[in-house]
Structure 1
Amino acid sequence: MSFTLAKTERLAAILSQTPVIPVLTFSDAKSGVATAKALRDGGLTVLEVTMRTPKALEALQAIVDEVEGVTVGAGTILEPQHVQQAIESGAAFLVSPGSASRLLGAASEAPVPWLPGVSTVSEAMQLAERGATFAKFFPAGPAGGPPFLKALVAPLPELHFVPTGGIDRGNVEDYLILRNVACVGGSWVAPQQAIDSGDWDAIRTLARETSALKAR
């Protein structure tokens, strides 16, 4: 399996649209649509819907169908069947917490780009050998945070990361200043409590503040 130039360019274009990708978990499609609209209105237009609930695919499909001006990816892709399910629901890109071998074949055949996860130097090197230019760094905080990523600039200059896990408003800029960070992923932009209570104004405000951040 290799990472094709066409899909790499598509992924680069997606990641360049935002400093932060909201990582979202929905229990129903209605809250997914409302959250996506609030985030979009606040300036965040690239979203990741995690495949962690029974209604995740339904929510993803509803956002794709009903919310203009957003690019929606599917996260927590763990199995080959998740790839097809996400694509059928309209996902524009796929995100995995790791880069398990069972996903490599399915991801290589998918018509949309894949952002595989890494947490070690060896995993990063293996993806780089296959031609990957981008990788999710997860869980970013426990796996070493900004110092770890900064240390990878010299040996792996061609690889750029989307750190996710343990990132919030207090430390996000420590990641964004690194030259090998394309953007970050985080759930603090749309807190689960705000989603569950329907506090769209709070989400819109957080999105507005976050969209003003800049990656290096």
Structure 2
Amino acid sequence: MESCPPLPDTAEVLARIRSASVVPVLVVDDVQAAAPLAEALAESRLHCVEVTLRTEAGLRVLRRLADRPELLAGAGTVLEPQQVDQAVQAGARFVVSPGLDPVVVERCLELGVPVLPGVATAGEVLRARRFGLPAAKFFPAEQSGGVPALRAFASAIPDIAFMPTGGIGQDNAAAYLDEPSVLGVGGSWMAPRDLLARRAWDRIRTLCAQAAQLAATTAGRQSA
């Protein structure tokens, strides 16, 4: 790999996610949207983002957002170990995967990049724990039992924290954020793909501001 900026340690990343509370999950098709999107995020003080690698523009968008010093930018929808390398080279400060693929997790550990693999069952949570991971992504959260399932995982396996994503929006995010095991919630409701494609920046700014207000009302809900 080419040289890349030093990576923050996992504890620092998790603390910043907890402080942010709400993590926009971005699916961006056009790299030209990166600059106005970054402005909308900065304006609303949403400082932690997950840029998914679902589109051809994903890595370039990640690089543009990672260059913004006020943003903690991570890579999402990481499916292959080579994508871990690409994401880190593009400036990702953390990696998120929809499932727990041991090869992806192992590559993240080799590179020293914090990783939040997706988990939806107790067995997967235990596998994440076996890797020594302090946190995982609960995905798809709503379809996998929502807050009651999350509460059951946390009761049985208390040394893992979660970032729920999937089916979460402005109306139900607070219920997750009230759970002590939750670092923060991920969602795309503040900058959905269709609004990004239409360049609906006024609407995106409004949604980002609402998400930031939600984050502010839940700030300090629990100690790190």
Normalising by the residue count of structure 1, what TM-score does the alignment of the two structures yield?
0.92
Contact 2:25–2:187 under 8 Å retained in 1: yes
Correspondence for 1:63: 65
Give the structure 2 partner of residue 169 of structure 1.
Answer: 170
Give me the whole-angstrom Cα distance separating, in 1, the residues matched to 2:105 and 2:162.
Answer: 18
Q: Which amino acid aligns with 2:37?
A: T
Within the candidate set 16, 20, 28, 1:26 is matched to 28
Name 1:105's counterpart in structure 2. 106
Secondary structure of 1:154's partner?
helix
Check conservation: 1:162, 1:181, Cα contact below 8 A. yes
Q: 1:113-128 to 2 correspondence within 5 Å?
A: 113-128=114-129
Q: What SS does the corresponding residue of 2:129 show, helix, strand or coil?
A: helix
User: Superposition pairs for residues 67-82 of structure 1, below 5 Å?
Assistant: 67-82=68-83
- Report if the CA contact (8 A) 2:105-2:117 is conserved: no
Which stretch of structure 1 is more off in the superposition, 144-153 or 199-208?
199-208
Q: Which residue identity is paired with 1:185?
A: G
Per the alignment, in what secondary structure is the counterpart of residue 116 of structure 1? strand
What is aligned with 1:3? none
Partner of 1:94: 95
The DSSP-based 3-state class of the residue aligned with 1:212 is helix
Counterpart position of 1:186: 187
Give me the whole-angstrom Cα distance separating, in 1, the residues matched to 2:44 and 2:81. 34
Letter aligned with residue 18 of structure 1: A
Q: CA deviation at 1:11?
A: 2.3
SS at match of 2:142: coil
Q: How much has 1:200 moved relative to structure 2?
A: 1.7
Residue of structure 2 equivalent to 1:41: 43
Q: Which runs of 4+ in 1 moved over 6 A?
A: none
Q: Look up the match of 1:9.
A: 11
Distance 1:190 1:104 in 2: 28
Q: 1:29–1:60: 8 Å Cα contact kept in structure 2? A: no
Deviation of residue 80 (structure 1)?
0.4
Return 5+ residue gaps in structure 1 as ranges: 1-5
Paired letter, 1:171: N
Match of 1:209 in 2: 210
Query: How far 1:7 sits from its partner (Å)?
Result: 3.0
Assess, with a 3 A threshold, how the Cα gap between structure 1 residues 68 and 198 changes in structure 2: closer, same or farther: farther
Contact 1:39/1:207 (CA < 8 Å) preserved in 2?
Answer: yes
Distance, in Å, in 2 between the alignment partners of 1:132 and 1:74 is: 17
CA contact (8 A) 1:140 1:165 kept: yes
Q: Say whether the 8 Å CA contact 1:49–1:73 is kept in structure 2.
A: yes
Secondary structure of the 2:78 match is coil
Instruction: Report the CA distance shift for 1:104/1:192 in structure 2 as closer, same or farther (over 3 A).
Output: closer
Separation (CA, whole Å) in 1 of partners of 2:139 and 2:24: 15
Residue 129 of structure 1 and its aligned partner are, at CA, apart by 2.6
Percent identity, aligned pairs only, is: 40
**DSSP 3-state at the match of 1:166:** coil
Q: Let me know the Cα RMSD of the aligned residues.
A: 1.5
Deviates more, 1:8-17 or 1:89-98: 8-17
Query: Could you tell me which amino acid in structure 2 is paired with residue 12 of structure 1?
Result: L
- One-letter amino acid matched to 2:129: A
